[in-house]
Amino acid sequence: MDAPLSPHELVRPWRRATIVASVVAGVELVLLLGAGALLVAKPLSHAIKHHAEAVAFAPAKKTALIVAPAKPKPTPVAQPKLARGQTAIFVLNGNGHSGAAATAAARLHQLGYRVSATGNAKRQDYATTVVLYRRGYQPEGVRLAHDLGVKVVGPLDGLEPAALHGGELAVILGA
């Protein structure tokens, strides 16, 4: 007499059959994708090759000659009217480091400049040090920038001349 089949014995053949069918379908998919790629790749590569040859062997287009605008000639800076000892400088800390203005003031004293005052700038996020000059003191500002190795020199911007505490130049220290 045959024993009745348990539910686990009925499920196992279907599980194996499903796994085998899935593997066969996956292999067929990979083969079809590979065959499709081979069928499309050859005509596509020929088209790209012909286009590249056509572009390479085409006659050169006539282009207009582009002339770069002439660089403006830097205006010569006059000789400073004031000696270093007569030039008063207002030093502002614009980098947020404590004591940076005092350190810069000491260096300016060593270079022979007169420091009128030190303080903090309105902003503490200057990326680079800036030398600012009052109207008529550009030569002194350029000389100070050269002495400090500063590349940014400009007219007084954002400060009133009265805010310089009697100075002709301002240095805003950056990072």
**pLDDT tens per residue, range 8-50:** 655 566 778 888 999 999 999 999 999 988 888 888 888 888 8
pLDDT of residue 4: 62
Mean pLDDT along residues 69-89: 79
Q: Smallest Cα–Cα separation from 87: which of 153, 155, 173, 171?
A: 171
Please check the confidence at residue 74 and state whether its pLDDT lies above 90. Answer: no
What CA–CA distance (Å, rounded) separates 92 from 165? 12
Of 34, 65, 96, the last residue of a domain is 65
CATH code: domain of residue 169: 3.30.70.2390
Write the CA distances from 93 to 84, 88, 151, 167, integer angstroms. 21, 17, 17, 16
Are 89 and 59 in the same domain?
A: no
Q: Is residue 62 over pLDDT 80?
A: no
Q: How far apart are CA 57 and CA 174, in angstroms?
A: 55
Is residue 92 within 8 Å of residue 171, measured between CB atoms?
yes
Given a cut of 70, is residue 66 above it in pLDDT? no
* pLDDT tens, residue by residue, 87-142: 899 999 999 899 999 999 999 999 999 999 999 988 888 889 999 998 889 999 99
Based on the fold, state whether residues 103 and 164 are members of the same structural domain: yes
Regarding whether 149 and 98 lie in a shared domain, the answer is: yes
What residues make up the domain containing 27? 1-65
